[in-house]
Structure 1
Amino acid sequence: MRVIIALALLLVCGASGVPVRSEVIRWLPVWQAVPTQSSAVPDQSVRTTVDLAAGGTSVRVRLSNLMGIKPVRVQEVVATADGEMRRLTFNRSTAVTIRARGEVYSDAVQLKVTDTLDIRTYTPAGTPCQARAHRTITSTREQICLISAVEVAGFTAPGAVVMFGDSITEGWYENTWPSLVETDYAVLNAGINGNGVVLGNAPMVTRVHRDVLYSKEVRKVVLLGGINDIQNGVSAENVIAGIRTLQARCRTEGVEFRVGTITPWRGWFAWTEEREQQRQEVNAWIRATFPDAIDFDAAVRDRADPLRLRPEFDSGDHLHPNGTAFGAMARLVRV
């Protein structure tokens, strides 16, 4: 009996007698592309170079078929950084089938990454290659094939901050304001063109866990949203209720939640005085409710006509700020 007990203690404590600690690997998301529907790609091989928000010593990649209605077969994924190439595996296999409405993570590989990561996916011709791919998301400005996130271990950043919103956050024209924010955190962009706080098939209140709170390394969220709701007739009361819901979900996860005021938009085709009043009510509530509110509205509005963007900040459609405005907006964000 004593022999059995001694053996058991060795198994628990290790031969040295010191308890063996099971280290949990921490994975920091350093790049993401919100999945979207897309057409099939005729070329079987798609190469994408993504700009990383932080570096690390090991890498894993997430492939997404969340918008797909059929399984997708991926035959090979290769990652390259600083001339070092790694063929990624999925449960130790170089090929993987992603079920409809599903996603998969690659096995981890040791690969030192700093600023960029080159990823090549090889799929059968005609495979739908979903993932949002605005030119501001990748270095090569090419299409993204199924890649929805890159995560690293061995990182030095204190965590990730997610910029959550619509086309103004995603980047409608040049640059994006999230990409210009100066911080030690890994900055992720979870903006979607046309997205609402409560409006649409995948509003922010329903996609927050999928696109924002999916990682324990997300420490902060900055929200800029509501204009798409308002221009489609959603009341200020309902937009505010949606923001409260997002605040509660972030609080439950222990994530700091910050809100930006909605930027001016007079001159946009859907602008009306009644809808403008709804924007003013939402902004007044944000300023009164959040002591650390980020006043994007005040930063980019025209002093001569506060309901409009400043001429030098207007992309030309009177709704979307331009790259110069994005710089002014980014300077307000302290995270």
Structure 2
Amino acid sequence: MSLRTLVAACGAVLLSQFAIPSVSVAADTPGHWVTAWATALQPIPQRADLPPLYRAPDVAGRTVRQIVYPTLSGSAVRLHISNEYGKEPLVIEDLRLSRSAGGAAVQGGGVRVTFGGKTSASVPAGGAMESDAVPVDIVGGAPYVISSYMGPDQRLAAWHRVSNQVNYVSTPGNHAGDSAGDAFRARFTQYAWVTGLSVDAPAAVAVAAIGDSITDGMRSSLNLNRRWPDAFARKLAHSGDRSVAVVNLGISGNRLLSDSPCYGDALVKRFDRDVLERPGVKTAIVLVGINDINFAAMPPRAGLDCDSPHTPVSAAALIDGYQRVIAAAHQHGVRVFGATLTPAALPPQRESIRLAVNQWIRAGHAFDGVVDFDAALRDPARPESLQRTYDSGDHIHPSDAGYAAMADAMPIEAVMSAARK
């Protein structure tokens, strides 16, 4: 058994704001576990001269509160904790799940999450750990707060850098059980450690969206869940289908073929960990490649060069990468939809690569389905560019309206049919 898939085997002790008695539930209790919320980690560059955007908050001996929005209801919950890029054990002294009361405040003291019946956890460097099953009702679409009181020497080695969600760090001490948010005076807009929340939801399935900043929701509105996977999840809920979770595994700056010191492992490398190992995922939607095309042309930078390596790519190389992702998905019984690369106002040589890739995605019949985001967002008069109302202003990332248009372009029936097979 790999460290990544290490699963604790004993009971959970419940202290719940939902006023239900303490119950012990074995971690291997039979159930239908489906990922309801997830995020993908990337290493924090380890340099003394980091720019402010890459400086992690001080978490040692403090309590961290992170706000998450599960997209599926369920009768019990498990949390997945990752120390994927850590060089030292990840020490959590107290971990609780609560309903949000706004900001850093929570409703009641929360449910204490355990690991093998213990209230603290030490996750080995490079490893991961699944919590015990906690019997508590989770409501899809509602905000929850994960409070983690960290060991006295703990520091952040990895995060999900663009959360588009304000999270909180307390003053020193264990404030995991505080209802009020007064102790949580520092804010940060990343996710850390907790990379998945799964629920016991019979007959439910999950759709994983994976890619770069356009899936991550870069430049969408802070705290409002306006990324396209959020809009797609709401669209499904409004249609009456509440048995499908949509989880966002985009990483801003991520590439299909190349690792980055800032933007995480190449998607071809992280696809197994971030998609195929998630419980209940039956369909993946892949939108990636524009950074592979662009970063080759970025000038090298002194100090931290997030765009390194500046690897030139061709359409053929990208197509080969997509085929590797498709093969891995099919080996695990997961259907995969290819999304066309959206307009980015590229110069002619790079634009020709984007167009060739999109033509293959549409006509190559290698994917189980196609999501034509390019057609949904492009300006009919200037197809190399985003429509003005869909442009956040940088000519690459959509606005909130653009992300909503992407959700509207999702072939719901085809995606749902693939997820149910």
Q: Hey, what does 2:119 align to over in structure 1?
A: 94
Match among 208, 224, 229 for residue 292 of structure 2: 229
Match among 400, 405, 413 for residue 323 of structure 1: 400
Work out whether 1:209 is the aligned partner of 2:284.
no
For 1:162, the aligned partner's letter is A
Residue pair 2:256, 2:267 contacting (<8 A) in 1 also: yes
Q: Matches of 1:45 and 1:216 in 2, distance apart?
A: 28
Residue pair 1:41, 1:125 contacting (<8 A) in 2 also: no
Q: Matches of 1:54 and 1:87 in 2, distance apart?
A: 21
State the Cα distance separating 1:160 from its structure 2 match. 0.2
Unmatched tracts of structure 2, length 5 or more: 1-27, 45-55, 100-106, 169-187, 221-225, 297-311, 416-421
Q: Hey, what does 2:70 align to over in structure 1?
A: 52
Q: Hey, what does 1:71 align to over in structure 2?
A: 89
Residue pair 1:162, 1:187 contacting (<8 A) in 2 also: yes
In the TM superposition, what are the counterparts of 1:150-161 in structure 2 within 5 Å? Answer: 150-153=197-200, 155=201, 158-161=204-207
- C-alpha change, 1:193 and 1:133, in structure 2 (3 Å) is closer
Q: Matches of 1:235 and 1:298 in 2, distance apart?
A: 22
Q: Hey, what does 1:274 align to over in structure 2?
A: 349
Q: Hey, what does 1:284 align to over in structure 2?
A: 359
TM-score by length of 1: 0.86
Q: Matches of 2:344 and 2:153 in 1, distance apart?
A: 40
Q: Matches of 2:75 and 2:228 in 1, distance apart?
A: 28
Give the SS at the match of 2:76.
strand
Match among 380, 396, 399 for residue 303 of structure 1: 380
State the Cα distance separating 1:257 from its structure 2 match. 1.0
Residue pair 2:164, 2:218 contacting (<8 A) in 1 also: no
Residue pair 1:54, 1:157 contacting (<8 A) in 2 also: no
Q: Hey, what does 2:36 align to over in structure 1?
A: 30
Q: Matches of 1:304 and 1:152 in 2, distance apart?
A: 46
Match among 107, 112, 119 for residue 146 of structure 2: 119
State the Cα distance separating 1:316 from its structure 2 match. 1.2
Residue pair 2:42, 2:161 contacting (<8 A) in 1 also: no
Q: Hey, what does 1:10 align to over in structure 2?
A: none
- The CA RMSD measured in Å over matched residues stands at 2.2
Give the SS at the match of 2:71.
coil
Match among 216, 228, 241 for residue 170 of structure 1: 216
Q: Matches of 1:170 and 1:327 in 2, distance apart?
A: 14
Residue pair 2:257, 2:292 contacting (<8 A) in 1 also: yes
Q: Hey, what does 2:25 align to over in structure 1?
A: none
Q: Matches of 1:143 and 1:272 in 2, distance apart?
A: 33
Q: Matches of 2:38 and 2:377 in 1, distance apart?
A: 27
Q: Matches of 1:50 and 1:134 in 2, distance apart?
A: 14
In the TM superposition, what are the counterparts of 1:235-250 in structure 2 within 5 Å? Answer: 235-250=314-329
Give the SS at the match of 1:113.
coil
State the Cα distance separating 1:156 from its structure 2 match. 5.1
State the Cα distance separating 1:162 from its structure 2 match. 0.3
TM-score by length of 2: 0.69
Residue pair 2:165, 2:189 contacting (<8 A) in 1 also: no
Q: Matches of 1:250 and 1:195 in 2, distance apart?
A: 19
- C-alpha change, 1:207 and 1:261, in structure 2 (3 Å) is same
Q: Hey, what does 1:9 align to over in structure 2?
A: none
Work out whether 1:132 is the aligned partner of 2:160.
yes
Q: Matches of 2:189 and 2:352 in 1, distance apart?
A: 41
Residue pair 1:46, 1:145 contacting (<8 A) in 2 also: no
Q: Matches of 1:126 and 1:109 in 2, distance apart?
A: 28
For 1:41, the aligned partner's letter is D
Q: Matches of 1:74 and 1:98 in 2, distance apart?
A: 8
Work out whether 1:265 is the aligned partner of 2:344.
yes
Q: Matches of 2:317 and 2:190 in 1, distance apart?
A: 36
State the Cα distance separating 1:136 from its structure 2 match. 3.6
How many residues are treated as equivalent by the alignment?
A: 309
Work out whether 1:148 is the aligned partner of 2:195.
yes
Q: Deviations over 1:257-303 (max 9, x none)?
A: 1111101111xxxx331111111110111111248311111111111
- C-alpha change, 1:144 and 1:281, in structure 2 (3 Å) is closer
Q: Runs of 4+ in structure 1 displaced over 4 angstroms?
A: 137-143
Q: Matches of 2:337 and 2:129 in 1, distance apart?
A: 30
Q: Hey, what does 1:12 align to over in structure 2?
A: none
